[in-house]
Structure 1
Amino acid sequence: MEATTSLLDAAAVGDLVLLDPLTEESLLHTLQERFRRSDIYTYIGNVVISVNPYQSLPIYTPEKVQEYRNCNFFAVNPHIYAIADDAYRSLRDRDRDQCILITGESGAGKTEASKLVMSYVAAVCSKGEEVDKVKEQLLQSNPVLEGKCPRLAPCAQQLKLRQDCRHYGYLNRESSGLPGVDDAANFRAMQVPPARAWEARKLDQASGMEACSIAEPQELQEICELIGLDPGTLEQALCSRTVKARDETVLTTLSVPQGYYGRDALAKNIYSRLFDWLVNRINTSIQVKPGQQRKVMGVLDIYGFEIFQDNGFEQFIINYCNEKLQQIFILMTLKEEQEEYVREGIQWTPVEFFDNSIICNLIENSKGGILAMLDEECLRPGVVNEDTFLTKLNQLFAAHKHYESKETQNARRVMDASLLPQCFRIHHYAGKVTYNVTGFIEKNNDLLFRDLSQAMWAARHELLRSLFPEGDPQKVSLKLPPTAGFQFKASVATLMKNLYSKNPNYIRCIKPNETKTAMLFTPELVLGQIRYLGLMENVRVRRAGYAFRQLYGPFLERYKMLSPRTWPRWAGSDSPAMGPRALPAASVLLSTSLCPGLSVCLPTLAPAHPVGLEQLSSPLGPNGDRGEGHPCPMGAGSRRGVRSRVATADGHLRQVRRAYRRYFRSEARARLANFIYRRLVQKFLVGLGRNLPPLLVTDRTWPPAPYKFLADANQELRSIFYRWK
């Protein structure tokens, strides 16, 4: 029986901050039991944990949307709609830009979560049709924009992954199918440029000689007809290269490997620049008119962390981006929160957590990071290869605790057959990942021979011509283009700056099993994600910390009705010393303990105080007329004074009644009607005053008007009450 009770209790805990005892086992057990009951959402404070069920659940209906609309975040069951509503109301009411960061492994349900967030905002927004239109445009662009940060006041989609040309689908048509996708319908969207870029694969074939040549002139002719270019111009650009030295220009024939490189680089650039053009067209179609944009809600759904059997440059870049997102989560939810307590002069026992800044610095340091070393190797003169690049890394990071290779392992006398000589390993926050350096330099280089750029500029196809502006002979630049790694690092830096400028909301997606089986929960897999996502540390900080903070001015204005010293207007100082002293009953109503900081007032979780709302609604506050935090005993003299004041007030009331009777005897009919009207109004107001709804933020009840002629007044009073409340 005890085991059954513990299971029910675990499943009932919707916020892990309330979990007791707090251990890895209890946290995992709670997620598993809630998942078993199809409760896939759980809170850690205002962070939502989402466990992918790999099936549709009946929890996204229009009725659910209305249930979570304008509700307090913690007053409803955990749901992705709750965080979407909280972010939207903060955007609407506080006029502060929002971002919702959706993170997790590949297959954890991040894209589906972003769809649900955008669908909810479209449903509750006053301009729902416009938002829904933008949402549909963003969702339709998902196949193109796999790494994206859509904004429901949309902006440029800048973050993308440049892959090596051999991985592009147009070079491997036999593997380009996708079940459930209408290829014929989707293909029509790609008919803007009449270019079959995959045919470029067949242009250069080895002729048995060192110099390269075109093996299939007929296919060269077909491509030139499509792009509007003279075949001789394209053949010369593919098979030779112009070298300028001082005042002399030399035309050199390319070798077969150089011809392959030039061909692939051209195909990759056409594809990549067409992708950029397509992204810009999407941005243009969804952007707001100039001068209209005021508030922004960003929804970030990006590549999940990837650990494959063979990890290359693409996985390295993706995992670097995920490290940066984890860094944001650490800074905003763990590090900055604890630093704020120190700044506010609040006694605090620090909660230890892993800061992944050391890993980010290992990768992105501008002078001694892996990306900097890769760029240095790519741009240095002479023959470059991955071996010299790996040797530099081994020398530079020999003592780094988050980097290892075969050479560093040998130096440390570590035997590990899984780490090959051409590989290095990084200890990411999500685990150890082994990267094969083969192809790193080729994929990082984004160089295109100037002859090929000029050939594309000479094409009569307007779109293709516009994709190669550097081919204009009048705008020749000797500056080398930035590498792929440098461009991606710049995109990540721009994204991080964008996210730091907004109020963050977090959805942490968890993959419950590797096979994507519906409602299957693998504890070992989930436990690993709990650890590297830092969920335990997040819960500890939330439990030990202050879940809500507010400046003293708004705090006193919000709770001024709790003390005669602040009601109806607070005219005193907003200094830290006056906040809790002026409102000792605030902690009673909030069921919290108030901790005054230097600039904010911070309530934390505490047992509820026995004083009820009935006492708080007293005109003298819960503790008599002193407004202090202790009972106010009344002696015999005080009681006699109160009786005297009551008797005097009763005598005045009788005199008023006699005066009213004399007054209403003249012109009885009109005056009687007016009297009845006023009495009804008085009765209504007195009754309303006695039956005001509780002062709970989540309570939206209001007594109905007793008479039709009071309906408008009743509605206006309701608006005033909730505006004041």
Structure 2
Amino acid sequence: MQLNFLNEPSVFHNLQHRYSKDLIYCKAGPLLISVNPLKDLQIYENDIVTAYRLKLLDIPHVYATVNTAHSEMMKDGLNQSIILSGESGAGKTEVAKHAIEYLTSLTGGDTGLQRKINHSSCILEAFGNAQTSMNDNASRYGKLTELHFTSTGKICCSRVQTFFLEKSRVVQQANGERSFHIFYQLCAGATQSLKARLSLNAASFYKYLNKSDSVRIPGAEDERRFHTLVEALEIVGICKEDQESVFSLVAAVLWLGNITFTEGNNGQVEVVADDAISTVSRLLECSTHDLIAALSTPNIQADSESKLTVEQALASRDALASYIYVSLFEWLVEEINRSFEAGKGHTGSTISVLDIFGFETYSKNSFEQLCINYANERLQQHYNRHLLKLLQEEFEMEGIDFNKVHFQDNQDCLNLFEKNPRGLFSLLDEESNSAKASDMTFSNNLKQHLSGNSCYRSEQGGNFSVRHYAGEVTYNKDGFLTKNRDSLHRKSIQLLASCSCHLPQLFASKLLQQYDSSRKFDCLNQNVGTQFKGQIFKLIQQLESSAPHFILCIRPNSKQLPDVFEKEFASRQLRCHGILEVVRMHRCGYPTRMTHQEFVSRFGILLGDIDNVSQDPLSKASAILQQHRIPPTSYQVGYTRLFFRTGQVDQLELIKNKALDGALDAQKLSQTQYTCRQFISLKIGVITLQSFIRGENARREYSFLRKLSSKELLSIKTLQGNQKTVQLQSAIRGCLARQQFIQMQSAQRLGDEMAFSPKVFARETPKGLPQENTVVSPSNMQDIRVQLVKAEATLGQKEEENAALRQQLQQLQSKWSGHEAKMRIMEDAWQQQMTSLQASLAAAKNSLAADNTPAEPRRFMVSPSPLSDSEDTMSMGNQTGASSPRPCFGSIPESHTGQEANGKSAPLGHLAKEFEQRKQIFDEEAKSLGSHNNPEQQLRQLKLRFAQWKKDYKVRLREAKAKLRKQGHADMERSHRKWWGKKHRKQPTS
């Protein structure tokens, strides 16, 4: 929504209007504003995630900010940071969680790593979040999540950094607040067996938890969240044994709070021997005697043993409990980083998400609130620097005309904390290192050295107030020095080192390393304030090396109620973060800037004619802007940079994308045409090669056929004709057999129907004639079945004949292949001989007969043998049907020739002689078929003459037989009948 009037009421009305419609996100220039809805909204579902991932939605949302960060990382290769700021209870933790979840789904990569990253927040929330008066799920630590990406934009590893866990919450809480969630979740959700092993009771049983009147949060479901925590621990990779050790230490911290002390007759503090002391020693796996000694024995000072008071013993107990819990939290963070492969090398960029404790102010503020508010001051300075200060300073340096925007700078407040040697943290360290210092001396020291700072004000009773960017906060001086020292006695360290459990031993070994390096034997003064200031300083340095993206979270009301928007409460947050100034700067300024060379490198493709353009980057940049008619009011040219108003660079990006799309289309068309030309050329080449090969094969075949004799050529053609004839006959016989089989099947079905139906079939008769009923008799049915059996037998016989014919055809084809192979071998041998003969022509004159030798083998190879002729004749005879006459050109039967030789019958001898003469004539005519122009026609005429002679010859044989009967030659008649039968069987007629 574009505001017509830029003022506080207009901005406030816009936020309230959108909040009433559950539109919790809006943009204020480069800043994303998120108003905590304090209820569940359906704006983080899978369909919303998909829409933003596919760039289908671009309305203000945390997903849109993440998309911008990821796109800039991939485009520029720079590290990115997403910084969330706002008061406690403004919803920073939830927004950060959704940002990380969307990042893991956006980039893909290792799905196992994505699950670990998403479930790690559950572990850190359980051990690091607590209920406060401002927030039911307040982060009591700062967290920076680094996501490392490969050069292709996929997550390869991650790392979590934590800052300043509020350890004092372990042992005490304000009224209406709770300790860390894990204590209540463990007491509510542990199984019965786990409760028995840890000796767990209800949360209200433990003194560390029942000091406030808030034990359960309505709707918090501690039991369910404990089961979710156990699942998250398994996903991160913490084994069952380590989980048991973690829960044992948590239970030991609770039982430590139930240990009580009494003062003996000699004034020495004694530990009450009850269930608490024995349970703690069992959970820590240490000796009960060592535990009592660590809690009740003072440190040795000046070779004399001092006595502890009950208050000091309680403080020592609380310090041990706090240290165990903080060390356990740090160990969990290390295990999470180990599962994230945080030490794995990477070459890509990073996106960091900062979720740090929000600004806090309570009725009683102590050392923890001071550190938290200092961290927020530092982040606010980073916020002002990048959104307001740096941009205006750059405008001035580059000579850009702009309307200067004034904003509230918090540098004086930062000087109050950080100035050396008289800053607040320096004075606190000085007092903490002094044995005679107290909280009152510390307060007086602050009043003496900081009264000149406008952000400091001394209060009655030694308290002091600091004017922060979000308002003035009064701090109670009590406990400042003790919390800053964070001392742990040497005996407590020795106690942890003596435990059988590996985790306390690990915690003690880290302290002993610091102990050896510091060479202090009384206690370890860690100076928490100085360490925290150093951590924040390193954090800001890391953020400065990245491109920031700010998300401001607003708390809508002070009562944590949904759908309630308090005007003054929300307006105060908008004012302290300078929302109006940011919007004004964004509207009248030039938020996008880049160097001349960067602009030319990014949009140089838009420069058309460069002949008349100077080669320096400024001239090229100016030419690009003029060619595309960019209005001069939408940009300004600085000494080294170009400055653009909002949306102008996006317009240039659209122009560039269109140009790139056009170039891509042209490249596709050119590539398509080139590929088509290549294909056509290749196709022509293939066709030419095929034509050449076919021509070469045809020439070789023609050369071979020219060298064959007419008889050999006839044999080849006859064989080819026989093959085609066989194929045609096979097809015809198959068709006839199928038709016959179909007819028999129909007859069989009809017969079956008649057999199963005893009814009489009626036939229609013409009018006036009587009706007749025809009944198929059993004898007719039997005849039909006999015919069917005969037809099936005939069909089987035909199939056997077809198989025999196919076998003969295969034999002929194999012989023909053999002849061709031999012919090729002889042709090669002839070529070799011809070569040798041409080389030695002079020496070959005396042996002319050698010139004819190559041709003889070829005729021998290709000429058909008499066996082949007989096989061909038999094949032709077998191809005919059973009813057609079959010609036979074999020799005369022995019985016939014997009769003629003995001279027993003159007519028969005459007929036999005639048979031999005719046979010789037909053989000669068959051999001369190859010399005719149409041998097939000549063959048909020869067959016709043979059939006529055979018919006449049979008539004369019958006449000779009749004459013999008349003469009464009975014996010759029997001999003749015997001869006739043999001849008839050997020479079947066609």
Indicate whether the TM-score tops 0.5: yes
Q: TM-score, normalised by structure 2?
A: 0.55
Q: How far apart, in 2, do the equivalents of 1:522 and 1:315 lie?
A: 25
Matched, 1:451 2:491: yes
Residue 573 of structure 1 corresponds to 616
Mapping for residues 325-724 of structure 1, pairs under 5 Å = 325-382=379-436, 384-406=437-459, 420-469=460-509, 470-471=511-512, 475=516, 477-479=518-520, 480-560=524-604, 563-566=607-610, 572-574=615-617, 576=618, 578-581=620-623, 583-586=625-628, 588-589=629-630, 593-604=634-645, 695=655
TM-superposed deviation, 1:71: 4.6
Structure 2: how far apart are the matches of 1:84 and 1:370? 38
How far has the Cα of 1:475 moved from its partner?
4.0
**Structure (1 or 2) with the larger CA radius of gyration:** 2
How far apart, CA to CA, are the structure 2 residues paired with 1:607 and 1:487? Answer: 45
Amino acid at match of 1:104: G
1:97 maps onto 2:79 in alignment: yes
1:137 Cα deviation after fit: 2.7
Aligned residue among 143, 148, 173 for 2:143: 148
Letter in 2 for 1:596: V
Q: Partner of 1:290 in structure 2?
A: 344
In the alignment, is the contact (CA less than 8 A) between 1:98 and 1:505 conserved in 2? yes
Between the aligned partners of 2:573 and 2:496, the Cα distance in structure 1 is 48
Contact 2:35–2:554 (8 Å) recurs in 1: yes
CA deviation vs aligned residue, 1:369-402 (integer Å, no higher than 9, x gap): 22222222221022x3221111111222223221
Cα deviation code 1:586-611 (max 9, x no counterpart): 4x347853311122111225999xxx
Q: Is 1:191 the equivalent of 2:244?
A: yes
Question: Counterpart of 1:334 in 2: which secondary structure?
Answer: helix
Q: Residue deviations 1:508-530, cap 9 Å, x none?
A: 11112223333322221121111
Q: Which residue of 1 aligns with 2:269?
A: 212
| SS of residue in 2 equivalent to 1:192 | helix
The 1:465–1:76 alpha-carbon spacing in structure 2 relative to 1, beyond 3 Å, is closer
Amino acid at match of 2:115: K
Q: Mind listing any 5+ residue stretches in structure 2 that lack a counterpart? A: 129-138, 149-157, 173-178, 184-206, 234-242, 676-990
Change (3 A) 1:126 1:591: farther
Q: CA deviation at 1:539?
A: 1.4
Counterpart AA for 1:149: L
Q: What's the counterpart of residue 324 of structure 1?
A: 378
Alpha-carbon separation, structure 1, partners of 2:274 and 2:227: 33
Any idea what SS the aligned residue of 2:263 has?
Answer: coil
Identity of aligned residues (%): 29
Distance 2:595 2:291 in 1: 68
Structure 1 residues 704 and 260, CA, compared in 2 at 3 Å: closer, same or farther? Answer: closer
Q: Measure, in 1, the Cα distance between the counterparts of 2:345 and 2:380.
A: 34
Separation of aligned partners in 2, 1:259 and 1:60: 51
Which amino acid counterpart does residue 253 of structure 2 have in structure 1? A
Residues 679-722 of structure 1: CA distance to partner in whole angstroms, max 9, x if unpaired? xxxxxxxxxxxxxx97276999999999xx979969x9xxxxxx
Contact 1:430–1:529 (8 Å) recurs in 2: yes
Amino acid in structure 2 at the alignment position of 1:580: S
Shift of 1:208: 5.5
In the alignment, the residues of structure 2 paired with residue 551 and residue 229 of structure 1 have an alpha-carbon distance, to the nearest angstrom, of 66
Q: Give the SS at the match of 1:340.
A: helix
How far apart, CA to CA, are the structure 2 residues paired with 1:290 and 1:59?
35
Shift of 1:466: 1.2
1:148 corresponds to which letter in structure 2? K
Q: Equivalent residue of 2:391, what SS?
A: helix
Deviation of the 1:116 alpha carbon: 2.1
Q: How many Å separate the matches in 1 of 2:672 and 2:530? A: 64
- C-alpha distance in 2, partners of 1:478/1:233? 24
Does the CA contact (< 8 Å) of 1:204 and 1:263 recur in 2?
Answer: no
The structure-2 alpha-carbon separation of the partners of 1:694 and 1:91, relative to structure 1 and needing over 3 Å to count, comes to closer
Give the 3-state SS of the residue equivalent to 1:514 in structure 2: coil
Q: Which has the higher helix share?
A: 2
Equivalent residue for 2:287? 230
- The question of whether the paired residues in 2 share the 8 Å contact of 1:70 and 1:89 is answered with no
Further displaced range: 493-502 or 339-348: 339-348
Q: Deviations over 1:27-56 (max 9, x none)?
A: 212222232333322212221111222233
Pick from 64, 73, 83 the counterpart of residue 82 of structure 1.
64
CA contact (8 A) 2:600 2:621 kept: yes
What is the DSSP-based 3-state SS (H/G/I as helix, E as strand, rest coil) of the residue aligned with 1:421? Answer: helix
Aligned-pair Cα RMSD in Å: 3.5
* Preserved CA contact (<8 Å) 1:338 1:350: yes
Cα distance change of structure 1 residues 474 and 439 upon mapping to structure 2, 3 Å threshold: closer
Structure 2 CA distance for aligned equivalents of residues 435 and 332 of structure 1: 30
1: CA distance, partners of 2:613 / 2:619 = 14
Structure 1 residue 88 displacement after superposition:
0.9
User: What is the alpha-carbon distance in structure 2 between the residues aligned to residue 303 and residue 60 of structure 1?
Assistant: 23
Deviation at 1:359, TM superposition (A): 0.8
Provide, for residues 171-225 of structure 1, a one-character-per-residue CA deviation record: whole Å limited to 9, x for no partner: 5334554422326536866532434122223434132553211122664344333
**Structure 1 stretches of 5 or more lacking a match?**
1-11, 14-18, 407-419, 617-692, 717-725
Distance 1:444 1:501 in 2: 31
Is 2:348 the counterpart of 1:262?
A: no
Partner SS for 1:468 = helix
Q: Does the alignment pair 1:50 with 2:34?
A: yes
Contact persistence 2:593–2:642 (CA under 8 A) = yes
Q: 2:17 aligns with which of 22, 30, 33?
A: 33
Contact in 1 for aligned 2:92/2:553 (Cα 8 Å):
yes
Q: CA deviation at 1:289?
A: 5.4
- Range that drifts further, 344-353 or 85-94: 344-353
For these two proteins, the number of residue pairs brought into alignment is: 593
SS of the counterpart of 2:18?
helix
Q: Does the Cα contact within 8 Å between 1:550 and 1:600 map onto a contact in 2? A: yes
Among residues 90, 95, 117, which one is paired with 1:108 in the alignment? Answer: 90
Q: TM-score, normalised by structure 1?
A: 0.74
Distance between the aligned counterparts of 2:538 and 2:398, measured in 1? Answer: 31
Q: What secondary structure sits across from 1:151 in the alignment?
A: strand
Partners of 1:328 and 1:239 lie apart in 2 by 48
Give the letter for the 1:595 counterpart: Q
Give me the whole-angstrom Cα distance separating, in 2, the residues matched to 1:696 and 1:35.
38
Aligned partners of 1:566 and 1:582 also within 8 Å:
no
